[in-house]
Structure 1
């Protein structure tokens, strides 16, 4: 008798498990500080921990109550090292880290990371870069804040060239620089940056959800159920181009006289804005579920900034079910289709921006439908996909392989309002 045939051997039915990495992340901002960089890094750290990577977070102490030195943690995959911090001029709520290259060389020589990820380019980032180069550690960086663009908004346009020269030198000493969109990647490449990789951003759709809309909150703003609430979330500062916001709101109010402007955030321009918009609601800094309720209780998100590297607030607004009016670049360019999720004005064209605001406000039914589609679009921005992309870059750096390319996004038609 013939022997029974053996079952065929199935090869590569499951993908090979990647080894866990020891990652040292160096940043000069982290929660509870409130800004897009801090929130994004917290999501990255959490995502990497969920994939069983060991994270060492090096950051400045954020208050006198925090003691410098390594901090213990119940989680063996996460520990923090706090360094001396000083307030940043004009940004007193943020701190720059002050530590020496020698300190970091000693720290990493005792427990060598597989890869160093430098998220900010301040003094601490520079020391970390020098230490990583000395120890021949794989190192990558983020380009997250347009400091070179901010200079002109503070009367220091002459600093643009030296700031850009420093940033180029900094990032070109790393194996790759992560940036959140293709437009900025091309801009940096044109400036002479090498090995720039696109790594987009995600959003917590469980936190930022239209279901958090609050009738009580809207009532506290003095608006009726059918009144239009125009929302802005962000730092109240010159680089956010808030003059265009007030002009757009004035145009909206000519169409919807009962419209109300709500500004979430704080900053040096607050007093000027209060004088210009005495009827606006200045909600101040908001966090967590309270912030999410403020988003969801608005009707139209207006974001006129022209200095973003990405603009996390755009994605948070979309996830909260708000149509977005913004300029056609950064996050808005990736995520917003005019007529479907809000409207995009040509970059820097203030007149078009203002006119689009009035046109959106003129059709409340269409605005409501755009909000529904905005939520659907935001739900496609998965943190899982983004963490996988970062993990792939780490492994390529540690293994000396070519950097993996991101998934290409399909071309999007531009629709008329």
Structure 2
């Protein structure tokens, strides 16, 4: 089950700066929701006077500048997914570096060889070891023809998370899923926030839509994310194909890049591919659409849902733990059974053709997004650290 945060016990020094060693499989070499959350956490911790040393694979072309002090660890490319790397563990020189750093707490964010080695070292050092669960790694196998390996993957996860001082899950629903799978017995919720100054309805731009060939009276479905199979690209393609068969006017706007782009583009030949967008360009894309589609079932939180809500547009998403925690069915959008293509088409049709329903859901989502504040959320993680230290 998920547990709530509490203030540190009597006797803990709430003002003492902590030294935190964070271990990540991808801290900044490819941009994704998980490492964006980790970087925000580290930046917050350092603003509070803590010192964070991050151990992760690196590349010569990082996606963004990292927060904290980043230490490169040995790694190799993942076969078939060369943009990602897997950390190989902790050589003796890095173990010495960690001992010299003398962390108060160790935070693991991936169940890779690096995470396993750091867990073992933390136990030897006698410091608390915690982990955060950012994605449903065990489900990825099914998208690449290795579904038969899922039981073995789940057993590995059980061993990795066993005996830790705390495990952070992104939502209470995801924490319950982990408990039902027997992977984690108890989890504390570390949610996500949204930058409301960056993502808001005021970012909508008719001029940008015109530049893409979108007319004022055309309704746009946005898909935002890395173009990889586990994001549900096949379901997006099937849903818009169904809309076309029904004669429902729409434009599909795809924001993101990834190794599955060529395959996806062949499935949705009429789509507009805007590529990877960052800075002010990403919130402009959200606000310039009428509805977001997110059929992924591998998310543990669904950052794109929250960003769309803050941008004032409805969300049509798969009814899975990472989406159901944010999207209130019939209020801020629609939740659809993951494989129900007709259900996706029905929900999209509603928001594409009914401006009043679209406006009501967008307003409800905008209101709900106001509760997700990054500093408050990350402050709770620091409070939990202090409890354990």
* TM-score, length of structure 2 as denominator length: 0.89
* C-alpha contact (below 8 Å) 2:313/2:361 kept by paired residues: yes
Is structure 2 residue 118 aligned with structure 1 residue 128?
A: yes
1:309 is aligned, of 300, 304, 326, to 300
Determine if contact 1:346/1:352 at 8 Å carries over to the other structure: yes
Match of 1:196 in 2: 187
Among candidates 188, 208, 211, match of residue 202 of structure 2: 211
Question: 2:92 & 2:186 partners in 1: Cα distance?
Answer: 28
- What is the match of residue 37 of structure 1? 34
Q: What is the match of residue 25 of structure 2?
A: 28
- Tell me by how many angstroms 1:64 deviates: 7.4
SS of alignment partner, residue 288 of structure 1: coil
**Which residue of the other structure, out of 324, 337, 342, is the alignment partner of 1:346?**
337
Would you say the 8 A contact 1:118–1:141 is kept in 2?
yes
The equivalent position to 2:80 in structure 1, one of 67, 90, 112, is: 90
Q: How does 1:171-190 map to 2 (within 5 A)?
A: 171-190=161-180
TM-score (norm 1): 0.83
1:79 aligned to which of 62, 66, 69: 69
Q: Give the SS at the match of 1:243.
A: helix
Distance (Å, rounded) in 1 between the aligned partners of 2:14 and 2:127: 23
| Deviation of the 1:230 alpha carbon | 0.4
Range 55-64 or range 151-160, more displaced: 55-64
The answer to whether structure 1 residue 323 and structure 2 residue 320 are counterparts is no
1:164 shift after superposition: 0.9
Question: 2:9 — aligned with what?
Answer: none
Higher gyration radius (CA): 1
Confirm or deny: 8 A CA contact 1:116 1:139 kept in the other structure: yes
Structure 1 counterpart of 2:385: 394
Structure 1 residue 322 displacement after superposition: 1.6
Equivalent pair of 1:60/1:98 in contact (CA under 8 Å)? no
Q: Distance in 1 between matches of 2:213 and 2:246?
A: 19
| In 1, Cα distance between equivalents of 2:62 and 2:203 | 34
Distance 1:109 1:275 in 2: 52
CA distance in 2, matches of 1:326, 1:40: 21
Q: How does 1:104-183 map to 2 (within 5 A)?
A: 104-183=94-173
Give the unaligned 5+ runs of structure 2: 1-12
Q: Summarize the Cα distance change of 1:380–1:90 in structure 2 as closer, same or farther, 3 Å threshold.
A: farther
List aligned pairs for 1:227-242, cutoff 5 A: 227-242=218-233
CA contact 1:182–1:198 (8 Å) conserved in 2: yes
CA positional deviation for 1:332: 2.6
Q: Which residue of 1 is the match for residue 3 of structure 2? A: none
Q: Summarize deviations over 1:145-200 as a string: whole Å, max 9, x none.
A: 21110101111011101111111101114212111112221121122223322221
Instruction: Work out whether residues 250 and 352 of structure 2, in 8 Å CA contact, stay in contact via their aligned partners in 1.
Output: no
Cα distance change on mapping 1:106 and 1:299 into 2, 3 Å: same
Q: CA RMSD in A?
A: 2.5
Rounded to whole Å, the distance in 2 between the matches of 1:207 and 1:32 is 23
| Partner Cα distance (1:255, 1:129) in 2 | 54
Q: What residue is the counterpart of 2:59 in the other structure?
A: 62
| Structure 1, unaligned runs of 5 or more | 1-15, 399-417
Matches within 5 A, 1:277-296: 277-296=268-287
In structure 2, the residue matched to 1:271 is 262
TM-superposed CA distance for 1:36, in Å, is: 0.8
In the other structure, the counterpart of 1:103 is 93
